[in-house]
Amino acid sequence: MQLLAFFTSVLVAVACLLAMEQLPGVTGVQIRRNGKTCQEYPVEKREEIANVVISGYIHRIMRKPRTIMYDCDIEVVRVFKGSEALYSNVVPPMDGNTIQIGGFGDPAICDNAVTPGETRIFMMNKNGNGHLMLNSSVIRITLNNLVQAEAAVFVCDGVDPAG
């Protein structure tokens, strides 16, 4: 148990250093997918940019005509950051614990392809109309990714997750 606590504290320290850009050479990475180039940043930097960070279950995909972009209905499993922004003035209004997120299929976002039934971590902002829009790649749910997301949000934003 002490070993797990040690590794968690090391991971938190590294996450904070990355978020504060104190590790040299850790910047955005140019990724080329399907002939298009997109910019990918470390999770900590992407969390800083996002106003809302959640984990959620993908219920439904709604394709838009004549465009590669699409929206998804997401059931919120856990809110890491931005619960106030998430629950106030969201367009369309939340139905229970389900929200609608746009921006999927955007070529500027490296990894944003999802299918119904998946659970992912989403980082997003509200656009001028109050719609929640994906602003970086979706993240697979793994223990390491959950610890990283929580560390980046809670510790680096000045809130201790232990209390």
131 occurs within a structural domain: yes
CA dihedral defined by 124, 125, 128, 130, rounded to 10 degrees?
80
Q: What is the DSSP letter of 89?
A: S
Its domain, for residue 102, covers 2-155
In this structure, what token pair is assigned to residue 14? 């590294």
Q: Is residue 161 part of a domain?
A: no
Instruction: Please report which confidence band the pLDDT of residue 142 belongs to, taking 50, 70 and 90 as the band edges.
Output: confident
Is 74 within a domain? yes
Highest mean pLDDT: which range of 20-34, 69-83, 88-102, 141-155: 69-83
CATH number assigned to the domain comprising residue 86: 2.40.50.120
Question: How many domains, the chain?
Answer: 1
Q: Is residue 24 part of a domain?
A: yes
Q: Does a structural domain hold residue 162?
A: no
Residue 163 inside a domain? The answer is no
pTM surpassing 0.85? no
Q: Is there a domain that residue 160 lies in?
A: no
pLDDT of 156 reads 53
Six token digits for residue 99:
């929200």
Rounded Cα distance, 159 and 163, in Å: 8
